């Protein structure tokens, strides 16, 4: 089955009770049992819910994985992965990543005895330099948030195998439309479904996809034991969003290219971060592992002054200033004070994140209107 057909059909079956073509919202906390243990596979909605089951199957199918697990947020999905570890274990993570992930790693799990190495992963030698027998997890985000660095997933999988660690890939920016990490050797694929997968800025959710039955069992145990599961209405919204993922992503990519090219030739713009440029430092890897280059773009104005960046952000009309990304509408953000404020300034600077960096999530409006908005805001 090809991608568009999968986006519409995979994992989703007409409702067995009524024939409803769209998955109903099973708004129930529990299920009747005829006799203790004699039920239809559903006991309690933290453990299983039919709307969630269909979403989990759909996400797994899109990623060429066997099992999907849905969570109440992207952070709850990441939290579930880290709970596989024990004190003394070590994690190698990219040093340029979503601020909330950095916060979870350093503020919640480091004090519990898990050691994190944050390294620039577009250079695999930097990963090998800290890898060892205690390494149990390699955490990749690609392209990274917000600097759009691209990490070679197949190369990271080789290092993970060498040291017997799991490789997890946060695929939030790419979605399975652009890249399928399991095909490249990843053990776990993670999503903030809140973004492109749901696609309409109307719900917060997360997911994991795995192939291995035993790993699925361990994660599924944690999902139920810790309880960060989503409600059926949210699952329904993501199921609906997935049906147009391919169409939306295609337009995000087209508009992303138009915006990136406009910014690159603008006399007031110093630098544009977008993996589709052939002079992007990891363009060759991006071209190999991604099917297109996405709609996330960051840029810095000439002079690198925060006040100038804020003035532009205040003038945007269609690039609405708001946290989040991946919805149909274009959004703008100031990572240093918004999505990445929980990363200490010194650490941000070390990974190359300027306080004047502007991040754009290019939506699916008309590209001409988006470029007009950039022109009037940048001046
Ligand atoms: O917000 P939540 O659904 O919990 O997902 C967290 C998360 C995980 N991974 C990546 C790459 C992310 O971008 C996010 C959330 N990011 C934002 C809210 C943002 O504006 O960057």
Nearest CA to ligand 1 atom 3: 74
For residue 372, name the pLDDT band (cuts at 50, 70, 90): very high
For residue 168, name the pLDDT band (cuts at 50, 70, 90): very high
For residue 320, name the pLDDT band (cuts at 50, 70, 90): very high
Task: Give the percent of the chain with pLDDT over 90.
Answer: 98
Phi/psi of residue 139, nearest 5 degrees: -110, 115
For residue 248, name the pLDDT band (cuts at 50, 70, 90): very high
Cα 116 to ligand 1 centroid, rounded to whole Å: 19
Rounded-to-integer distance, Cα 228 and Cα 77, Å: 8
pLDDT at 20: 96
How many degrees, rounded to 5, is the angle at CA 243 between CA 238 and CA 246? 110
pLDDT at 223: 98
pLDDT at 122: 87
Rounded-to-integer distance, Cα 137 and Cα 323, Å: 28
- Residue 79 tokens read as 């939290």
pLDDT at 160: 98
Active site residue 161: no
What average pLDDT does the segment 295-308 reach? 96
Residue 66 clears pLDDT 90, i.e. is over it = yes
Give yes or no for a cis peptide into 103 (omega within 30° of 0). Answer: no
pLDDT at 12: 87
Rounded-to-integer distance, Cα 353 and Cα 335, Å: 8
Residue the block writes with tokens 């299920």: 31
Active site residue 273: no
Mapping DSSP to helix (H, G, I), strand (E, B) and coil, where does residue 253 land?
A: helix
Q: CB of 196 within 8 A of CB of 326?
A: yes
**Tell me, what DSSP letter sits at residue 44?**
B
Cα 324 to ligand 1 centroid, rounded to whole Å: 7
Ligand 1 pocket residues where CB is under 6 Å: 73-75, 98, 100-101, 141, 145, 170, 172, 192, 194, 204, 206, 323-325, 339
pLDDT at 123: 87
pLDDT at 79: 98
Q: Give CA separation, 15 vs 22, 219, 242, in Å.
A: 7, 27, 18
Query: Quick count: other Cβ atoms within 10 Å of Cβ 13?
Result: 10
Q: CB of 205 within 8 A of CB of 188?
A: no
Nearest CA to ligand 1 atom 2: 74
| pLDDT tens-digit readout, 19-44 | 999 999 999 999 999 999 999 999 99
Helical ranges in the chain per DSSP H: 3-9, 50-62, 74-82, 99-103, 124-130, 153-163, 175-178, 213-226, 232-242, 245-264, 283-289, 306-315, 345-350, 367-378
Helical ranges in 63-171 per DSSP H: 74-82, 99-103, 124-130, 153-163
Q: CB of 156 within 8 A of CB of 179?
A: no
Question: Among 63, 79, 96, 170, which one carries the catalytic annotation?
Answer: 170
Active site residue 262: no
All structural domains of the chain, each given as residue ranges with its CATH number in brackets, are 3-242 (3.40.640.10), 245-378 (3.90.1150.10)
Residue 218 clears pLDDT 90, i.e. is over it = yes
pLDDT at 127: 97
What average pLDDT does the segment 265-272 reach? 98
Active site residue 202: no
| pLDDT tens-digit readout, 136-166 | 999 999 999 999 999 999 999 999 999 999 9
pLDDT at 26: 98
| pLDDT tens-digit readout, 101-135 | 999 999 999 999 999 999 999 889 999 999 999 99
């Amino acid at each position: 089955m090809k991608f568009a057909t999968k986006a519409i059909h995979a994992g989703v079956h007409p409702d067995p009770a009524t024939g409803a073509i769209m998955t109903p919202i099973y708004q129930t906390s529990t299920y009747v049992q005829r006799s203790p243990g004699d039920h239809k596979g559903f006991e309690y909605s933290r453990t299983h819910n039919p709307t969630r089951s269909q979403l989990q199957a759909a996400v797994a199918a899109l990623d060429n994985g066997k099992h999907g697990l849905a969570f109440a947020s992207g952070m709850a999905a990441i939290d579930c992965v880290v709970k596989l570890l024990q004190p003394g274990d070590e994690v190698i993570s990219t040093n340029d990543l979503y601020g909330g992930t950095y916060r979870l790693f350093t503020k919640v799990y480091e004090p519990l005895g898990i050691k994190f190495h944050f390294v620039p992963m577009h250079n695999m030698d930097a990963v090998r330099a800290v890898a060892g027998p205690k390494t149990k997890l390699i955490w990749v985000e690609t392209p990274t948030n917000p600097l759009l660095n691209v990490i070679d997933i197949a190369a990271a999988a080789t290092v993970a195998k060498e040291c017997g660690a799991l490789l997890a890939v946060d695929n939030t920016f790419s979605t399975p439309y652009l890249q399928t990490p399991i095909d490249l050797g990843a053990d776990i694929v993670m999503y903030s479904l809140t973004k492109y997968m749901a696609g309409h800025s109307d719900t917060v959710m997360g997911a994991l996809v795995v192939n291995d039955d035993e790993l699925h069992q361990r994660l599924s145990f944690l999902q139920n034991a810790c309880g960060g599961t989503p409600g059926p209405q949210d699952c329904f919204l993501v199921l609906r969003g997935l049906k147009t993922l391919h169409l939306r992503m295609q337009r995000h990519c087209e508009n992303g290219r138009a915006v990136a090219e406009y910014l690159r030739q603008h006399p007031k713009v110093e630098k544009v971060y977008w993996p589709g440029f052939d002079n992007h430092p990891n363009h060759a890897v991006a071209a190999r592992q991604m099917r297109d280059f996405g709609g996330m773009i960051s840029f810095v104005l000439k002079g690198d002054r925060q006040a100038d960046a804020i003035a532009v952000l205040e003038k945007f009309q269609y690039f609405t200033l708001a946290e989040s990304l991946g919805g149909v509408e274009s959004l703008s953000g100031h990572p240093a004070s918004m999505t990445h404020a929980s990363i200490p300034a010194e650490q941000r600077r070390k990974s190359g994140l300027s306080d004047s960096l502007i991040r754009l999530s290019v939506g699916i409006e008309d590209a001409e209107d988006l470029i007009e908005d950039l022109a009037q805001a940048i001046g």
